Structure 1
Amino acid sequence: MVVTHPFHPLRGEELPVLFSARMKGVLVFVCESDGGKRRVSLPQSWTDRGPEAMPDRFAVDGLTAARALVDALASRLSDDTEDAR
């Protein structure tokens, strides 16, 4: 199994799978690392056995929701500052 998560330190490495298990409804692979010195648990989605990675990191819906949250927080902060005067 190959680690595919873009920010995982073992990205691109092929690891032997010792076993798999479901944790909180997610399929997880327990693998050997460092020549058998360590065990690493990886969700299926972080491996070549998971769904194909999306090329874009941010979706429009997520960015829109984040902007709405920032605007609401900024408005609240502005209201609190005016009340303090």
Structure 2
Amino acid sequence: MVTHPFHPLCGGELSVLFERRTRRGLWFVCEVEGRARVTLRQDWTDRGVPQGDRPVATDGLTALRAVIDAVLGRCSDSTQVGE
């Protein structure tokens, strides 16, 4: 089943013809209405890990906050210097 909320086939059940593994992950080549083919990322299907089930690490959020603070600080500093 296609679960990606912005995909035009969202909610539709497709037959998987075969799987393709690339360096960017697992992809499914599916049949649409018995005649066309569409390639879907595993994350866009019910075979992927739902977005809400992925844990968020505190260390990652702390590092992200430090990057945001650095960028915002740099932007405000450059504005004052250029005046």
TM-score bracket relative to the smaller structure? 0.5 to 0.7
Q: Which residue of 2 aligns with 1:11?
A: 10
Amino acid at match of 1:77: C
Q: Which residue of 2 aligns with 1:59?
A: 56
Q: Which residue of 1 aligns with 2:43?
A: 45
Runs of at least 5 residues in structure 1 that lack an aligned partner in the other structure: none
Amino acid at match of 2:46: D
How many Å separate the matches in 2 of 1:26 and 1:71?
Answer: 32
Cα 1:9/1:54, change in 2 over 3 Å: same
Q: Percent identity?
A: 54
Cα 1:48/1:57, change in 2 over 3 Å: closer
Aligned residues: 82
Runs of at least 5 residues in structure 2 that lack an aligned partner in the other structure: none
Question: Could you report, residue by residue, the CA deviation over 1:29-81 in whole angstroms, capped at 9, with x for unpaired residues?
Answer: 10122x24532111223222233x14378936455444332221111112212
Cα 1:41/1:57, change in 2 over 3 Å: same
| TM-score calculated relative to the size of structure 2 | 0.67
